[in-house]
Structure formats: structure tokens, C-alpha cells
């Protein structure tokens, strides 16, 4: 079964930035995983949360609910500080991502571009940089503990079966989005 992983910075990024792609491919039989680097405890809109810990717990619940709606097979929220990813030791974050990628073994990885997506948020940019560091450094540097070599994700064209290749966001009338969906 093909596998797609999405690396995001905050709970809500999976839905607001990648939700359509995640749901489309999950519906086509692709196993999906979202790795969220922070629990989003520094968000401006805090709901009824009285402190950062309550907000992080609320946002984890929202993340789990969004993953259920998007039919994400595996959703993981890590504990890096929201708004501070640029201050983290890159090697540590990349090692944790490598381990998650080795566990899930995705053929395709989605994340933000280095510009930080539509919002330009530095945490979004860092998600891109951490993923790029993984890609650039795969199998070149050993990790601090013995594990297998990283599983490099392949490109979209190589990873997905021909009938699951990406199509235009606005297909022509009557166009089938993918061979398995018949939408």
C-alpha cells in the first residue's frame, strides 16, 4: 500500500494546508501520516484555555478530530515549543523525524516550502528545513544510536501508482480524479 507523510508545524496545519490532499489520497487507498512538530501552545486564539498546557491539550484533541475527518491513519504531535522551532537544535529534530519516517516508511512526504507557506510563519519554514536536512543527510551521518539507514521518500511520480498521480486542482468536467476514487 502506498504511504504519504505530511510534516507540519502546528495543529490545524494538516487541515488548512494539506487537508484536501490527505483526504483525497486516503480515499484512494493511500496510508497517510501527519507529524506535527508542536502542540500549538502559543496560539493567539485560545478558546477556554487558561494556560499553555490547557491550550496544548485542546489543540491535540482538535488535531485528533481533524485527522479522523481527513482519514489520516497515523497522527502524531511532538512536543517542540510553538513559535520557537528556529531555536531548536536542528540535529535533534531531524533525528526524531528520521526515526518517525523509518517507522512509517513513506514514499511521499508533504511539507511547507522554505518561504513558510501562505502565512510565512517561521515554524512552517522550519518544518521545511528539517525535512530538507533529512533528505540531504540521509545515510551520510550516523545517528547517536544504532538504527537502520533512513528510508528515503521517493518523488511523487515514482511513489504512487500511475492511477494515483497528482492531477490538476481543477479537473475538467467529467474527469476522474484517480482510478480508485471515481469522483
Alpha-carbon gap, residue 115 to 173, rounded angstroms: 33
> 76: which strand partners?
35
> Between residues 141 and 40, which one has the greater pLDDT?
40
> What is the pLDDT, as a whole number, of residue 43?
83
> What is the pLDDT, as a whole number, of residue 117?
79
Assign domain 3-164 to its CATH architecture. 3-Layer(aba) Sandwich (3.40)
> What is the pLDDT, as a whole number, of residue 32?
97
Q: Kindly list the strands in the beta sheet with 74-77, ordered across the sheet, starting from the edge strand earlier in the chain.
A: 74-77, 31-36, 3-8, 108-110
C-alpha cell recorded at residue 59? 489543540
List pLDDT tens digits, range 109-137: 898 888 887 777 899 889 888 877 666 54
Which H or E element spans position 164? none
Q: What are phi and psi of 70, to 5 degrees?
A: -80, 0
Amino acid at each position: 500500500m502506498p504511504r504519504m507523510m505530511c510534516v507540519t508545524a502546528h495543529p490545524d496545519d494538516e487541515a488548512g494546508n494539506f487537508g484536501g490532499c490527505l483526504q483525497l489520497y486516503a480515499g484512494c487507498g493511500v496510508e497517510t501520516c501527519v507529524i506535527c512538530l508542536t502542540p500549538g501552545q502559543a496560539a493567539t486564539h485560545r478558546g477556554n484555555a487558561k494556560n499553555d498546557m490547557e491550550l496544548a491539550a485542546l489543540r491535540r484533541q482538535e488535531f485528533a478530530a481533524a485527522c479522523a475527518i481527513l482519514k489520516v491513519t497515523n497522527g502524531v504531535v511532538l512536543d517542540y515549543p510553538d513559535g520557537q522551532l528556529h531555536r531548536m537544535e536542528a540535529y535533534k529534530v531531524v533525528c526524531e523525524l528520521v526515526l518517525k519516517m523509518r517507522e512509517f516508511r513513506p514514499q511521499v512526504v508533504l511539507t511547507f516550502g522554505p518561504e513558510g507557506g501562505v502565512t510565512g510563519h517561521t515554524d512552517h519554514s522550519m518544518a521545511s528545513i528539517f525535512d530538507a536536512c533529512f533528505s540531504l543527510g540521509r545515510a551520510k551521518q550516523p545517528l547517536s544510536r544504532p538504527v537502520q539507514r533512513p528510508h528515503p521518500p521517493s518523488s511523487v511520480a515514482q511513489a504512487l501508482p500511475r492511477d494515483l498521480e497528482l492531477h490538476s486542482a481543477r479537473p475538467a468536467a467529467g474527469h476522474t480524479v484517480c482510478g480508485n476514487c471515481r469522483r
